[in-house]
Homo-oligomer: A and B are copies of this chain.
Amino acid sequence: MDAFIFHNPTRFVFGPEAELQTGEQVRKLGIGKVLLVYGQGSVVRSGLLARVKASLDATGIQHCELGGVLPNPLSNLVYQGIEQARREQVDAVMGIGGGSAIDTAKAIALGTRYNGDFWDFYMAKAQPADALPVITVLTIAAAGSESSNSSVITHEKSLLKRGCRTDFNRPRLSLMNPTLTYGLPNNQKANGVSDMMAHIFERYFTNSKDVTLSDELCEGTLRTILAAGPKALAEGDNYAAHADLMWSGTLAHNDTLSPGRQQDWSCHGISHAVSAHFGAAHGAVLAVLFPHWMQHQLSHDVARFERFAVQVMGVDTKTGDEKSRAEAGIRALRDFFNSLGLPSTLGEFNVQEKDLERLADDAPYTAEGTIGFFRPLRREDVLAIYREAL
């Protein structure tokens, strides 16, 4: 176990009708006015926005709003939100929706308290020194942004999709009602399953030694997702399955499962260009790329991939040798994703061979020309994984 600092101060209010506590909980934070950020209107149509506003009104908390966040959220709305937050002098920004609305809220919260261009933080040109508090009302179990230190935004002009990680991104309060996710289309539920599993994979495949405890926590959560995912797709009102997914998605990305582990993040790194250029859903791209990433990285630590196969994917310890069991685990993961209706090739996003060089150019290489920490990917590795996934 590596040395670590863990600090996750978010207050979670979890359960049916959690959003009805919005006003009461926000008041406890001493917040007087809040900017409500949401997407393309589903929270209006479902009545959620009205319930949140009624709860705020009932406790005398003022609010203004900014709708229109797109999946793979863009920088233009962030600039608009920063202007609005300043003009309206809000005390906090509330993302109502999934990762896109919440990540946009985080970017606005960072940018409002910064004199320069908020995009500096996403291009690692500056570090945040202050931010407005962030609050979330979650409607999709997937990105984990309701608890993570991360926000991912795509720049309107350059189409660069980049993340910013800072403690300022940790929400002060997250209201989580699993029944809000009942009515999502199955492909969105499946994307969420892939996304949260990927967040655990980025932590599970590590070079850190002596990580028994966090291995156990990662594996137990992955097994829970494997069981709950198909149930949530098959039974739209199965509370237990939707609640398991919602809390798993939170744990997957707030480091509860992974203190003291070096994390990788190379597969996320190479996934973003596909989403940015082809408008592909983040979880769907990860479902395509992760099994190929695993196959490509297998030789770096066969024992770890075998442990994953046995402990998570249920591969029998008595069959074959270590490597064949490891590969059976990767196949089982691909089969699981397929069983949820997730894609298995980049071709399904209309990516062609001729696009790969451009995608590989956009990956977030370090100055040394690599991505990630498990076995760092060079540009030729990125291309090889894309090619295998075509």
Structural contact, A3 and B14, CB atoms closer than 8 A: yes
Whether A354 is near chain B, meaning CB under 8 Å from some CB there, is no
Whether A219 is near chain B, meaning CB under 8 Å from some CB there, is yes
- In this complex, how many residues of chain A approach chain B with their Cβ under 8 Å: the count is 39
Residues of B contacting A259 in the complex (Cβ-Cβ under 8 angstroms): 12, 14, 247
Whether A13 is near chain B, meaning CB under 8 Å from some CB there, is yes
Contact of A224 among B5, B9, B212, B243 (CB under 8 A): B212
Residues of B contacting A260 in the complex (Cβ-Cβ under 8 angstroms): 14-15, 243, 247
Q: In the bound complex, how far is the Cα of B5 from the Cα of A13, in angstroms? A: 5
Known contacts A14-B260, A16-B3; A216/B212 CB under 8 A = no
Structural contact, B3 and A12, CB atoms closer than 8 A: no
Known contacts A216-B224, A217-B217, A220-B219; A210/B11 CB under 8 A = no
Identical subunits present: 2
Structural contact, A240 and B12, CB atoms closer than 8 A: no
Q: In the bound complex, how far is the Cα of B243 from the Cα of A16, in angstroms? A: 37
Known contacts A4-B15, A14-B259, A240-B1; A216/B210 CB under 8 A = no
Whether A300 is near chain B, meaning CB under 8 Å from some CB there, is no
Shortest distance from the beta carbon of A74 to any chain B beta carbon, whole Å? 33
Structural contact, B3 and A18, CB atoms closer than 8 A: yes
Residues of B contacting A362 in the complex (Cβ-Cβ under 8 angstroms): none
Contact of A9 among B9, B213, B228 (CB under 8 A): B9
Shortest distance from the beta carbon of A21 to any chain B beta carbon, whole Å? 9
